[in-house]
Amino acid sequence: MSNKGDFNVYIYIPVTYNANIKKRSEYCYDILFKLIEKQYIICNDKSNHNIILSKQSNDINKEEFLKHIYYQIDDLNTDKKVQTNKETVTEEPPHITIVGSVQIKRHMISSFLNKVKEKLKNQNCFYLFFKKSVDLYKSQKNTKYFCSYTVSDEQQKLHLDPLIKKINEILNNFDLNNNYVNRICHMSLAYTDVSLEVILEKNKLNIKDTFWPNISEIIVDNSSDFSSDDFYIYVDCIHICIGNKLYKIHLKNFNNLNFLESDDSYISSE
C-alpha cells in the first residue's frame, strides 16, 4: 500500500511560558554553559580542542560557547538572532511528549481525533510535579544534549502512565505503534549542539547512555535557588499535531475547585 498522503502525528502536553519557566530555563542554560566550559578546560589540558567541536561547526572557541547553547523557548534566543541576522532553527516550545512520531492516513484523521476526544472525556485535569534536579538527555540522532526536568516517578505512575495507556489503546485500534512506550517523560528547557562526551567520560558516566540524572552534580560551583521549591504545571489539555495542523483536546475540569495554588506554569489558552 502506498504511503502517499501519510501525516506524522505527535501527541504532547504543552507548557506555557511564564516567569517561573523562564528562570528555570536560564538555570538549565547556565548548567550547559558550565559543562561546556569545564569540558573546554579538560580539552585544553589534553591540547585537543577538536573534541568539543560540534558537527555543525569547526571554529568554536571559548568566546563562542553561547552561540552553541539554545533555549527551548525561541523568544529567549534573541541574542543569537541578532548575531546571525536571521531566524534561528530551534526545537519545539517546552512540552512533554507522550506519543512520538507515528504515521496516519488522511482518511483516518477525523476518526482518530474523535476517538481521542471520546476516550479522554472523563480524564480529569491534574497537577504534574517534576523532580527537583536537572537531568541531561541526548537526542535520538545523537546530535544534541538537553537539560531537562523529569517527571517524578510517582507522578509518572499516577498521571502519565494511565493517560498514555488510554492513548495507546486508540493507536492499537488504528494499527499504530507508540515508539515512546516506557519513555522517561520530561520537559527540556535548554540544549546544545556541542558533544559532551568528554566531560561525561571524565566523570565516569557511560557515554552510550541517552539519559544522565542530576547532571549538575558534576559542576563544582553549581548553585540553585530551586533546590527546595516544588516545580509543577497544571495540565488541562493535550495537543495533537498532525502534519502542520494542531488540535487541542481539553481535559475534564475539577468543577472550579483549586486543590493547589497554581504557579501558572500552565495557563489555558481560553
Q: What is the pLDDT of residues 161-174, one digit of tens each?
A: 999 999 999 999 99
Q: What is the pLDDT of residues 232-260, one digit of tens each?
A: 999 999 999 999 999 999 999 865 444 44
Residue 140 in this model has a pLDDT that exceeds 90: no
pTM of the model: 0.83
* Distance from the Cα of residue 137 to its chain's centroid: 9
Confidence of residue 183 (pLDDT cuts 50, 70, 90): confident
Higher-pLDDT residue of 41 and 187 is 187
All three cell numbers of 30: 547556565
219/197 Cα distance (integer angstroms): 15
Query: According to the model, what pLDDT value does residue 179 have?
Result: 74
Mean of the per-residue pLDDT values for the chain? 82
Query: According to the model, what pLDDT value does residue 223 have?
Result: 60
Residue 45 in this model has a pLDDT that exceeds 50: yes
Task: Supply angle C-alpha 215, 221, 222, rounded to 5.
Answer: 40
Domains in the chain, ordered, with CATH?
A: 7-48+60-250 (3.90.1140.10)
Question: What does the pLDDT average to over 76-85?
Answer: 63
Q: Are 148 and 137 in contact (CB under 8 A)?
A: yes
Q: Are 101 and 208 in contact (CB under 8 A)?
A: no
Query: According to the model, what pLDDT value does residue 42 have?
Result: 83
Q: Are 245 and 229 in contact (CB under 8 A)?
A: no
Nearest alpha carbon to residue 149 among 167, 128, 164, 163: 128
Query: According to the model, what pLDDT value does residue 61 have?
Result: 61
> What pairs with residue 151 in β-bridges?
130
Q: Which residues contact 171 (CB under 8 A, 6 or more apart)?
A: 99, 102, 177, 178
Confidence of residue 138 (pLDDT cuts 50, 70, 90): very high
Q: What is the pLDDT of residues 204-226, one digit of tens each?
A: 999 999 999 999 999 866 566 56
